[in-house]
Structure 1
Amino acid sequence: MSAHSPTQRRLTPDEVARLVRASFGPGPAVADCGPLGGGGFAAVWWVRLDDGREAVLKVAPPPDARLLRYERDLCAAEARYFRLVAAHAPRVPVPPLLHHGADPAYGEWLVMGLLPGRSLADLAADGGVDDGPARFDSGVALAALHTVTGARFGYDDAHRPSGATWREAFGAMVDALLADAADWDVRLPAAPEWIRALVGRHAPALDAVRRPALLHFDGWDGNVLAAPGPDGRLRLTGLVDGERFLYGDPLMDLVSPLLLRKVEDEPDHPVLRGYRSAAPLDLDAAAARRLSLYRMYLYLLMVVEMPSRGMTPDSHPERHTDLADLLHQELTDLARD
């Protein structure tokens, strides 16, 4: 990933302090702050206030930043997500939303409480860590999220892909990514028309999904926080970055936690064991086909978003090649079915 994505606003400590004042008024001031890494979309800073509280400031991309179609108004979407989870799935650990602000100069921002723990990605980098219990907990948390039902499938606002059925919404989501690929001149491993036709061929499999369940859809290791519990084992302390939430098939939420792998090949993975402890989970042949469609969508998204994050096949050849290969493999598997 590039050191600085074009979608990330560059902030100074003075600007952070100004946004905190705009959030809380003349009350608590910033005692210390610094940038948080790990993401490539919004600017994120940790903040320690002079009243002892710790918070996270998340600032949306600049108004002139080029975004993918589904990325419009993600700051407001994340605010809706936090309120939704707090109200309807309170056992899922998400940051408390302290303020959602907007300003002509800075655009939108959020201030959230800082959750304890570190991301599973950071913990894995340390080596020798048993993160199985935290992953089990994350499966339980996903099952709790999926009990929340939306009014329609896809995204929850009028200007992003959605539909009355999951088939309609998923097709619109794929179409939007293929349109983004054309806008950004992204090199894909297959013709967009062929990808669109392949999705259409398998679309009947999506009709098994009758209820629009709340999905996090970004549950990779960087967005799962964990800390030692009373028994000394790592336990889930946060499922963060909910800005990409949508409503659809619960199976779609199992792709990111097993990123670059196949869910159906690892039925005893701790995320799946945790999920099954709270909700039914059938990984039959029909489920495997839908999972392949969802992996294809995620890899397509990851390839298409590269130039918007300042990455090209020339600047990041290994990343582009690896993702294109994964996308090609899923397309090949779907074509073989």
Structure 2
Amino acid sequence: MTVSTGDAIARLAGAPVVRLQPLQGGDLSSVFRATLADDRTLIAKSGPEAQAEAAMLRAIHSTGCPCPTVVADAPGLLLMTELPDGGIPSAQAWAACGAALARLHAAQGDSYGWPTDHAFGPVPIYNQPMADWPAFWAERRLLADVDTLPPDLARRLETLAARLPDLLPAAPPAALLHGDLWSGNVLWGPDGFAGVIDPACYHGHAEVDLAMLALFGRIGDGFFDGYGAPDPEMRKRRPLYQLWPALVHLRLFGSGYAGLVDRLLSEAGA
């Protein structure tokens, strides 16, 4: 371990670090498993969004949705408990996941957005609250930094964004969203659903999380037994909500994601 990292964790944890193991974390931060001299084992996450993530984890935890417990945080560093991982989800585990997300989404805000902006590395996430959901999705998500995109994709997005008042509900409940709910951020332990990690929270339409969960994987059998029956129109709106994470991947990782963005635009009718 580096002296600076180990010392920072020790100061924040209040105990010396005896072992620091790098973990495969996000592409945008450094993650370690820290074994302390007092026999605790914590997950340490460093990066500019550490304290923002701590606030989000506390918000998720308050709803009863399982997630890591924040032990301590400071500028650039978050210490939290570790969730079990490596299990294979059953239908019963998926139902437990659905029930947990239903509790998360039942926590509602007064408007769409979040008190602070966020970022996926160099990609900003604009969260200034708005009262109109289609306008929020257009301005804060699909058209955010649209000038950085290839001109043909930008034109299609602008055309689609103009149609959002006819395609999205004007005022769905402002659910507390995980905000980055791809399959890798849902953990399964030996006893079933373990919890969610790596949030990018804001308040919005609950279907945003469900669309993300289906983007790079599939929602397992049993999920809606726990979550509740989906709106019959959800599948029609899914590509509109999947466009945002696809655009983030395009900005972060390059043209390999242009085909995904193109496909979702076509599915959305643009």
- Asked if Structure 1 and Structure 2 have the same fold, meaning a TM-score greater than 0.5 normalized by the shorter chain, the answer is yes
Q: Give the match for residue 193 of structure 2.
A: 236
Match for residue 26 of structure 2? 39
Segments of 5+ residues of structure 2 without an aligned counterpart are 119-125
Other structure's SS at 2:244 match: helix
Query: How many pairs are equivalent?
Result: 261
Q: Does residue 296 in structure 1 map to residue 236 in structure 2?
A: no
4+ residue segments displaced more than 6 Å: none
Structure 1 residues 208 and 163: alpha-carbon distance in aligned structure 2, compared to 1, 3 A threshold: closer
1:78 corresponds to which residue?
53
Percent pairwise identity: 25
Q: Quote the Cα distance in structure 2 between the aligned partners of 1:21 and 1:81.
A: 23
Q: 1:166 aligned to 2:133?
A: yes
SS of 1:255's partner is helix
| Pairing 1:96–2:69 present | yes
Matched residue, 1:113: 81
Query: SS state of the match for residue 298, structure 1?
Result: helix
Contact 1:209 1:248 in 2 (8 A): no
The match for 2:208 among 252, 258, 262 is 252
Give the secondary-structure state (helix, strand or coil) at the position aligned to 1:47: strand
Q: Distance in 2 between matches of 1:38 and 1:329?
A: 28
Question: After the TM superposition, which residues 57-68 of structure 1 pair with which residues of structure 2 at under 5 Å, given as runs?
Answer: 57-61=44-48
Aligned to 1:219: 181
Q: Structure 1: how far apart are the matches of 2:37 and 2:105?
A: 38
Report the secondary structure of 1:151's partner residue. coil
- Matching residue within 9, 12, 15 for 2:4: 15
C-alpha offsets along residues 226-281 of structure 1, whole Å, 9 cap, x if unaligned? Answer: 2222xxxxx01121111x111111111112222246x7xx7xx42xx323434342
Alignment partner of 2:165 out of 203, 225, 231: 203
Q: CA RMSD in A?
A: 2.4
Q: Who is 1:309 aligned against?
A: none
Distance in 1, matches of 2:203 and 2:265, equals 24
TM-score (norm 1): 0.70
Distance 1:287 1:208 in 2: 15
Distance (whole Å) between structure 1 residues aligned to residue 208 and residue 89 of structure 2: 26
Relative distance call for 1:134 and 1:202 in structure 2 (3 A) is same
Cα distance in structure 1, aligned partners of 2:7 and 2:42: 15
Q: Which residue of 1 aligns with 2:115?
A: 156
TM-score by length of 2: 0.86
Aligned to 1:232: none
SS of residue paired to 2:164: helix
CA 1:52/1:40 → structure 2, altered by over 3 Å: closer, same or farther? Answer: same
Q: Distance in 1 between matches of 2:189 and 2:115?
A: 32
Q: Distance in 1 between matches of 2:100 and 2:214?
A: 15
Give unmatched runs, 5+ long, in structure 1.
1-11, 62-73, 103-107, 124-128, 230-234, 307-311, 314-319
